[in-house]
């Protein structure tokens, strides 16, 4: 066995049906009495429900969280946080709300309790991606990690099936990159394979029956594991491309991850044969080929496969490729602009991924 270093992140996890009802007890455990609740404009109802649950221990709701954590939204939320004299942050929602919670927490030092309602997994990472003037940058700091994460399957039952699919594949992407990260280790590999298995088996069931509680629980469990993988390893080509396309071209986060994942795995496949074999074992109907497995999963989920469907223009492909290779980063295969351009073109056109780049 190779030598490795493994550091466990100190997040407290509360998992189970109705788990969000334990929030008042969790605030009391930490000696907190003035929580600011965060949401997107589309989840105000969820935020209000949490506010009612907390009663006098909630000082207000900020419901303007947005994709890619724009700096201007963070600055506005920061003024509200200070004006209300909040002593803690409670985020309820997907990656957008979690990102805002992280941005506020790292700036103020206030503890952040995250209640995820999707499968993005960012609540388990010390990473924060922020967008300023059309450029998305990522930083990592252990202080960015939420202090507590509450996984309540009941809050995911109304997650639309299409968003369930794309946020779930987004989580799978975290695990896939963790398997070939330069700082991976056997513990994370176990988490990654189990997370992929849980999501790949449960997401198609959710696609047929959004109220299937067993499948929803399995998917939330998988998302937790996959998010933990991302929180413990270095991001590579896949996340770099997603941040480029999201931050510079305002493409939706989960959908971009979903479209790109088979292509980025195919790009790296020639140099990570062990990873490819491991993924093929946990992907449904992969038939020994992980790329087949991912292509097939996206087909079963019925998600859109083309970046052009989300607004990327053909003339943007060259610019996206140039931005993506501007700063070299950890990736098992050398990143070359001409090949990345072709990868993006295939994803733009909606072609199935194939390992011939």
Q: What percent of the chain has pLDDT above 70?
A: 100
Q: Where is pLDDT greater, at 121 or 295?
A: 295
Q: What is the pLDDT of residue 327?
A: 73
pLDDT-based confidence at 305, cuts 50/70/90? very high
The whole-number pLDDT of residue 160 equals: 93
pLDDT value, residue 320: 95
Mean pLDDT score of the chain, rounded to an integer? 95
What would the pLDDT profile of 244-263 be if each residue is shown by its tens digit?
Answer: 998 889 999 899 999 999 99
pLDDT band at 329 (very low <50, low <70, confident <90, very high): confident
Instruction: Tell me what pLDDT residue 35 has.
Output: 98
Domains of the chain: 12-156 (3.40.50.1970), 161-349 (1.20.1090.10)
Radius of gyration, alpha carbons of the chain: 19
Q: What is the pLDDT of residue 7?
A: 80
**Residue-level pLDDT at 120:** 82
Contact 176, 188 (CB under 8 A): no
């Amino acid at each position: 066995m190779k030598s490795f270093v493994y550091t466990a992140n100190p997040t407290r996890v509360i998992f189970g049906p109705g788990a969000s009802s334990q929030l008042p007890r969790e605030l009391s455990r930490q000696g907190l009495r003035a929580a600011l609740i965060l949401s997107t404009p589309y989840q105000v109802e969820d935020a209000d429900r949490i506010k009612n649950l907390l009663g006098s221990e909630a000082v207000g709701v900020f419901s303007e969280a947005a994709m890619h954590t724009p700096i201007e939204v963070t600055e506005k939320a920061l003024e509200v946080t200070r004006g209300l004299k909040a002593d803690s942050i409670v985020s309820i929602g997907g990656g957008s709300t979690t990102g805002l919670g992280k941005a506020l927490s790292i700036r103020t030092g206030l503890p952040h309790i995250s209640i995820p309602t999707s499968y993005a997994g960012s609540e388990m990472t010390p990473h924060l991606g922020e967008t300023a003037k059309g450029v998305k940058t990522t930083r990592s700091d252990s202080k960015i990690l939420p202090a507590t994460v509450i996984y309540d399957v009941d809050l995911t039952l109304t997650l639309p099936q299409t968003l369930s699919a794309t946020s779930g594949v987004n989580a799978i992407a975290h695990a896939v990159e963790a398997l070939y990260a330069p700082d991976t280790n056997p513990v994370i590999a176990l988490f990654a394979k189990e997370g992929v298995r849980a999501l790949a088996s449960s997401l198609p069931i959710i696609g047929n029956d959004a109220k299937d509680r067993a499948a929803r629980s399995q998917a939330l469990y998988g998302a937790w594991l996959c998010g933990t993988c991302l929180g413990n390893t270095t991001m590579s080509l896949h996340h770099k491309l997603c941040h480029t396309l999201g931050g510079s071209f305002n493409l939706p986060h989960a959908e971009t991850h979903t479209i790109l994942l088979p292509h980025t795995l195919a790009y790296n496949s020639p140099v990570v044969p062990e990873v490819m074999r491991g993924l093929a074992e946990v992907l449904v109907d992969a038939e020994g080929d992980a790329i087949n497995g991912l292509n097939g999963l996206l087909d079963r989920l019925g998600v859109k496969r083309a970046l052009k469907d989300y607004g990327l223009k053909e003339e943007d492909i060259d610019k996206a490729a140039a931005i993506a290779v501007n700063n070299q980063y950890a990736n098992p295969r050398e990143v070359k602009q001409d090949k990345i351009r072709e990868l993006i073109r295939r994803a733009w056109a909606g072609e199935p991924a194939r390992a011939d780049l």
